[in-house]
Amino acid sequence: MPVMPAHHFSKEEAEAAFWAKVTIGRSGECWPWRACRDKDGYGWAWFGDKMRRAQQLAWELHYRKPFPSGMSGLHSCDTPPCCNPVHVWPGTQADNVADRDRKGRHRYGLPTKPQMDRGEACWNAKLRNVDVATMRRLVHEGWTQKRIAARFKVSRAHVSKILSGRLWKHLPA
């Protein structure tokens, strides 16, 4: 367990030290935490005698009350380092999952917009919707996945994922 230096700050000094690590912008903008972040991008800060999530601490300092115990700090902006207290609200893990699903976010936290980045609408798509339909027809006509892959200049594994429904699943089979 690391030993932390014994700093004795007044509450005002501790708050000032916290906010000094936040880039404060306009009320509707994200205010990113500039100090320690975890692998997911969430800010962490020593406050008092323990390490705290920066967005929860920002909420507490702004609203002048403790962050509800057992709750997560959810972001309306979906920006992990954001410490703008009006972008953060307390919620359960179920609230977080519902928020994610409502916004259509990918399971790894990356934003997805089905109307924008699926199939041929994706900026780096090598195939078009008609190509996928043709692949599905050709396999029923007896073509091998290897032959289909060669015709469309993609890997056989890619063809396999399309035909099994793991890719391009937004199109009817």
Same domain? For 35 and 60 the reply is yes
pLDDT at 11: 80
pLDDT for 100-152, tens place per residue?
888 877 555 555 444 445 677 665 678 999 999 999 999 999 999 999 999 99
- Going by pLDDT thresholds of 50, 70 and 90, the confidence category of residue 60 is very high
**How many domains, in total, are found in the chain?**
2
Instruction: Please spell the DSSP secondary structure of the chain, one letter per residue.
Output: -PPPP-----HHHHHHHHHTTB----TTS--BB-S-B-TTS-BEEEETTEEEEHHHHHHHHHHTSPPPTT-EEEESS--TTB--GGGEEEE-HHHHHHHHHHHTB-TTS-B--HHHHSGGGSTT-SS-HHHHHHHHHHHHTT--HHHHHHHHTS-HHHHHHHHHTSSSTTS--
Lowest-pLDDT range, 69-73, 88-92, 104-108, 137-141? 104-108
Q: Is residue 5 part of a domain?
A: no
Mean pLDDT computed over 14-39: 90
Same domain? For 106 and 139 the reply is no
Same domain? For 75 and 95 the reply is yes
Q: Is residue 4 part of a domain?
A: no
Domain interval for residue 36: 11-112
Same domain? For 94 and 140 the reply is no
Q: Is residue 32 part of a domain?
A: yes
Same domain? For 98 and 124 the reply is no
